[in-house]
Every structure is written in structure tokens, then in C-alpha cells.
Structure 1
Amino acid sequence: MGALSIRNVKKSYGDTHILKGINLEIDKGQFLILVGPSGCGKSTLLNMIAGLDDISAGEILIGDRVVNHLSPKDRDIAMVFQSYALYPNMTVRKNIAFGLEIHKVPRAEQEQIIARVAKTLQIEHLLDRKPQQLSGGQRQRVAMGRALARDPALFLFDEPLSNLDAKLRVEMRSEIKLLHQRLGTTIVYVTHDQIEAMTLGDRIAVMKDGEVKQFGTPQQIYDEPANLYVAGFIGSPAMNFIPCRLEQEQGCAVVRLDSAGTVQPLRLGRLSDSQRGLLGREVILGLRPEQLTDPGSAHNERPGLQALDARVEIAEPTGPDTLVTISINGVKAVARCHPQAVARPGEAMRLLIDPGKALLFDPVSENRLV
């Protein structure tokens, strides 16, 4: 039995279907990310796990208990909100202790728990301050401390870092990651930020329009996206999508790339059964920017790298690398290159493609061809 099981969960308001049959399961100690754009249903699902919203159909189990009809206080969960939800008239100490008092934890034990939590989050010096005397990052630590004090079966985070500035968001992301590694807590975390999803989660559920489009490890979702939506949502810069005609040569899949006025074949490996059905038709070639790079930055020990001559249209330095915009088959594509290897806009430049990492998608179903 997993720490959390979501079985065919649906949510509807009249004829409007918000969640369309969600199935997810995680084990104790795992970190689940629900990621997707605004309106995809991720916060609705989190509220249903917490008991803040009713379920239209399906079951939610926390441990071995079906919790559909249990109140939030009886679900053994703790929630950290985007808005921190701290009591402004209470000190940090009292905010952390609030849930303990509700559950009638003895005062001496409360003090031990507060001391432990404050030390874990490095907020011992803030215990006698009130929320208005704290920075955004400090308030977020207090909100996390109030959740940790409860030691629940499940922690729920609802976009907890979205109100922080970029630098503090990175710092707090690292703290949450370290906290999870140190304590082994079970976490469900909602975000629209795919960088947060990739860096924090053991498992990621990518959501769109009330459905889970893919559920897997961060690396699985990055390397083997199930469809065009997941491939384009996860990764920064986004994956390049290049329209091509699928051909074969000696049993291998081949597409042709037109760049800088030259058409060059790209050989992709053995033709699969799903690819065979689309021979002679248009497919979408998916290439991540790091798989389209200058020869010096390419993994030259990898066999089968293929050259592509291109013309630089835009060069965008980012510090450690430069993003180069080129045109392939009439669409813009981004290559990730070493700053010193980049030609000037308007000049020709040779790039290398790793065909072993290239993906093909069916433009009709939008599914990856495996």
C-alpha cells in the first residue's frame, strides 16, 4: 500500500469537468510534483487530497485509509500555502505551536518540538517575532515549520515559492530539497514552474486540462516525453519541434533537414513499427537545444554524431553558454553552444546533432513514436 493512492478521481461542477479520472500512487518518503499551467486542475487535486474540496468520483487513500469523507483535521496531513497563512497577531513560536495546541499536545512536548523544528529550519532567532517583522523567505520557513511540527503522514505544498523573488526562490528550493532528504517526509507539491518540478521531485505528474499527460521520474519525462505537450512543457529552453518527412534507408529512419540552403539527411536508427506506419508522411522531429551544439561542446565520444551547417540568426549569451537561433525546415530552432564557438549573426556555423537523442512525434495524435 502506497503512502498516497489516487484512484480514478474526478471533479465536476455541473457539466464542467475539472478532473477527468486521475490515477497516481506514491510510496512513503517520495516527493510527488503536480505540474502544469494555470487551470490544469493541479490545485483542485491538492485541495481534494487535503479535504478542502469534495470528490465527484473515485477514491483517495492516505496510507491504507480511504479519506474521501474525512475532514481535513482527521486526514493526518499538513499544508503549506502560497500565502503562508500565518496568524499575524501570534509570534513565530505560537504559529508553530498552533496545530499542536489544537491536538492537545502537552506543553513540555510542544517546546521540544518547537526547538527541534526551529533548529532544522534555522529560525531559532525568530521565535519571538511576529510575521510582519519577517522577510518573505523567513515567513515561508515559519509556514514550513508549522507543518513539520505536526509530523503528519503527508505534507501538501501549494505553490509555496511563487511569491518569492528569483534568488530567494532558488535558495528555498534547495532548502526544501535538503529538508526532504534529511527527514524522508512524503510530499505532494503543486507548481507551474517546470524547473521546480525537475529539481525537487522523485515523481512528476504533468497535467493539462484535468488529465495527467505523463507520470514518471524527472529523467524519464525529460528524455522520453510521452507526447508533444510534455516535450514542450518540460525543459528550458523548450524542445525544438521541426516538421519533416519520414523516409527510410536500409531499414533506418531518415529525415531531411534544410538549413542555410543545404538539405542534409539525418539518420535516426532502426525504423520502429510505429514509425513504419508514417513512412512518406510528415512527422515532428524533437531536438533539445543541448543536442544541437557546436563541435567543441558535443559529446564527441558518442558514436554517430551528424553535422548540420546553419546560419546564425540570433545569439543570446547567458553566461555559461550562448543560445543560438537558426532556421531548419522553415522553423526557428535553438542550439545551446559554448560562448567562444558562436559565429556572429548572419554568419555560417557548423553544429553537431546527436541522433540517438532525437525524438519523433505523430503530428495528428501528438504522441511520441517509439
Structure 2
Amino acid sequence: MGALSIRNVRKSYAGNEILKGINLEVEQGEFLILVGPSGCGKSTLLAMIAGLDDITSGEVHIAGRKVNDLSPKDRDIAMVFQSYALYPSMTVRKNISFGLEIRKVPQAEREEAVARVAKILQIEHLLDRRPSQLSGGQRQRVAMGRAIARNPALFLFDEPLSNLDAKLRVEMRTEIKLLHQRLGTTIVYVTHDQIEAMTLGDKIAVMKTGEVQQFGTPQEIYRDPANLFVAGFMGSPAMNFIPARVVELGSGLGLAMENHGEQFVFPAIRGEALRLGQDVIVGIRPEQITEVVDSHGAAEYAVQQSLRIDLAEPTGPDTLLLAIINGAKVTCRVCPDFAVRSGEKMRLLFDLSKVVYFDPATEQRIR
């Protein structure tokens, strides 16, 4: 059994089922991300792991021990909130050591713990300041230091970076990743930000309306999404969804396409489960639609097609081009040196090796 086991956990409020049978297994030292839109149940699940909310049915095990009926203080967890939850009248040193003091940890051990976490988080120079004298990033470090000092079996992070500005979020994301690598701790981290999910997690549970839509590594979820929701939620810019009909193409199958009156057919690569005449949604990532360069010329499953560009959006390292295929807005990611202006045509290379197909009715993958 791993560090955290969630078995068929359900939660209902006034007859409304908020969590609908969650099953997750987290191994020792893994970084699990719970990600999804607001209201999907991720924070409710975290609160139930922490013991801050009751479980309607199912079981939660931490380090091999069933904790359903244990109070938060007896679950061997530490939690970091988005609001920091620091004591304003206490110094940083006192904030970090206060939880240990409550647990009657000897003073020498408390001082040693404070020194250890202050060095890990590089906040030694802040120990005698109060929270009001700290920046948002420094406060978040102190909140993490208070959790680390406990040396718990499980760390729980509830959207800890949501109150920070964009630049500081990126910096703190790196700090949390490095902290996990140094400590080798088990972390459950709630966020609605798919960039945080992709960069931080060893495993990701994508949630929607109280259910886990997919559970796997970041690359598994990005490259092999289970349904339209996961495919559209994970990735920035999001995956392109092109409605198409399966047609004949030589001795095989193709996908009928149209761009501003020009019709063409793409081969249905990896389309063994498709059938002639079927309506499908073709999923292709923006980075799989690029400029044509010589090195791509012989690439397997590479198809070239000229499209009229409706919008160009320079981002610095890339330029995002918007084209309309079968009535759907399609984002292409190209090198700025090759980008054309809005209204012009550009020959683009489609890498169909990672294309995925969805059923328009069920929104599930066609496999």
C-alpha cells in the first residue's frame, strides 16, 4: 500500500452528490495533482483527506492506516493554504515552530527544525520578521516552512500560488518542484491551473463534476487524453478539435477537410477504429501544425497543406496562427520567421502521428 489510498470515496450535501466514487493510489514520494475547473470537487476531496470534512462513504488510508474517523491532528499531515494562514502577531520563527510547540516538542528540537527549514527555503534572514513585513512569496515560503517542520507523512497544498502575481507564481512553482526533489516527500496539490499540473506533478487526476476523468502521468494525459474534456483542459494553447467525416482515400480511409472553400482530404492516420461515413472529432495539438522546413520533408505521417490564415498572434518565441478548418478555429504554432500576415495563405506541415479521434456524441476517445 502506498502513502495515500482513496477508495470509492463519495461526498453528498443535502442529497446532492459532490464526489462520485473517487479511487486514487499515491505511492511514497509521489507528487499528485488534483486539477479541474472550479466546482469539480478537488478542494472537497483534499478537505476529506485532511479530515476537515466528513466522508459520506468510502475509505481514506494514509501510510497504510485508515483515517476516516481520525481528527486532522492525528492524521500525520501538514497543509498549506492559499491564504497562507500565518499568525500576524508572531515572528516567522514563531510561526514555523508554533505547531511543534503545541505538540510538546522539546525546545532544542524546535530550534533545530526551524533552522533546518529556514535553510531549505532560504529564509534565514526573515526569521525575526512578522508576516506584515513579508512579500507574498516570502509568506508562502513561511507557510511551507511551517508544514515542513512537522515532517509529516503527507503534505496537502490547496491552491497555494493563486494569490501571487504571474511572475512570482512561476518562481514559486520552481521552488516547490525543487523542494519536492530535495525532501522526497509525498504531496497532494490542488490547482485549477493546468500549467502547474503539467510542470509539478508526477501523477495528475483530472476532475470534472465530482469524477476523475483521467489519472496518469503528465505525458500520458497530454498525449493520450481519455475524452474531449481532458484533451481540451490540458494544454496551452488547447488542443484543436476539428469535426470531420471519414471518407475513402485510395485503398484506405481519409478525413474530409475544407478551408475557405478549398477542399482536401487528410489520411486517417492511426484510424483503425474508424469506419467509412462516420462523423468524428479530430484532435491535434497546435505544435503539431508548424511551418514547412526541409527536415520535416520526409517525416513519417507528415502532411503538407496550404491554408488561409485568419489571425496571427506573435508571442515572442512562437507565433500562433489561426485558420478555419471545417468551421472550427484551428491554432497553429510556427516560428516567427516563417509566419505570414492575416489574410495570406501559408503552407503548413501537419504531423498526424499523434492525432486522436473522439466520438461527437459521447465525447469519448475512439480507440
Superposition TM-score tier, normalisation by shorter sequence: over 0.9
1:312 to 302, 309, 312: 309
Aligned residue in 1 for 2:181: 181
2:290 to 289, 293, 309: 293
1:284-316 Cα shifts (integer Å, max 9, x gaps): 011110011111397555312101210111100
Aligned residue in 2 for 1:357: 354
Give the TM-score normalised by structure 1. 0.97
- Describe the shift of the 1:108–1:299 C-alpha distance in structure 2 as closer, same or farther (beyond 3 A): farther
1:341 to 323, 338, 341: 338
The 5 A counterparts of 1:190-269 are 190-249=190-249, 252-269=252-269
- Describe the shift of the 1:251–1:207 C-alpha distance in structure 2 as closer, same or farther (beyond 3 A): farther
Aligned residue in 2 for 1:26: 26
2:277 is equivalent to residue 280 of structure 1: yes
Work out whether residues 46 and 190 of structure 2, in 8 Å CA contact, stay in contact via their aligned partners in 1: yes
The 5 A counterparts of 1:14-53 are 14-53=14-53
SS at match of 2:60: strand
Amino acid at match of 1:204: I
1:84-116 Cα shifts (integer Å, max 9, x gaps): 000001000000001111111110111111001
SS at match of 2:269: strand
CA distance in 2, matches of 1:161, 1:141: 11
1:169-199 Cα shifts (integer Å, max 9, x gaps): 0000000000001110000000000000000
Amino acid at match of 2:186: T
SS at match of 2:164: coil
CA distance in 1, matches of 2:256, 2:311: 23
1:210-261 Cα shifts (integer Å, max 9, x gaps): 0000000000000000000000000001111111002344664420211243
Work out whether residues 298 and 352 of structure 1, in 8 Å CA contact, stay in contact via their aligned partners in 2: no
1:50-101 Cα shifts (integer Å, max 9, x gaps): 0000000000000111100100000000000000000001000000001111
CA distance in 2, matches of 1:26, 1:38: 23
Aligned residue in 1 for 2:321: 324
2:120 is equivalent to residue 123 of structure 1: no
Work out whether residues 362 and 369 of structure 1, in 8 Å CA contact, stay in contact via their aligned partners in 2: yes
Work out whether residues 269 and 355 of structure 2, in 8 Å CA contact, stay in contact via their aligned partners in 1: no
- Describe the shift of the 1:297–1:141 C-alpha distance in structure 2 as closer, same or farther (beyond 3 A): farther
Work out whether residues 259 and 309 of structure 1, in 8 Å CA contact, stay in contact via their aligned partners in 2: no
Aligned residue in 2 for 1:108: 108
Work out whether residues 37 and 192 of structure 2, in 8 Å CA contact, stay in contact via their aligned partners in 1: yes
- Describe the shift of the 1:168–1:137 C-alpha distance in structure 2 as closer, same or farther (beyond 3 A): same
Work out whether residues 270 and 353 of structure 2, in 8 Å CA contact, stay in contact via their aligned partners in 1: no
Equivalent pairs, count: 367
The CA deviation at 1:369 is 1.0
CA distance in 2, matches of 1:11, 1:43: 12
The 5 A counterparts of 1:156-171 are 156-171=156-171
- Describe the shift of the 1:27–1:297 C-alpha distance in structure 2 as closer, same or farther (beyond 3 A): farther
Aligned residue in 1 for 2:70: 70
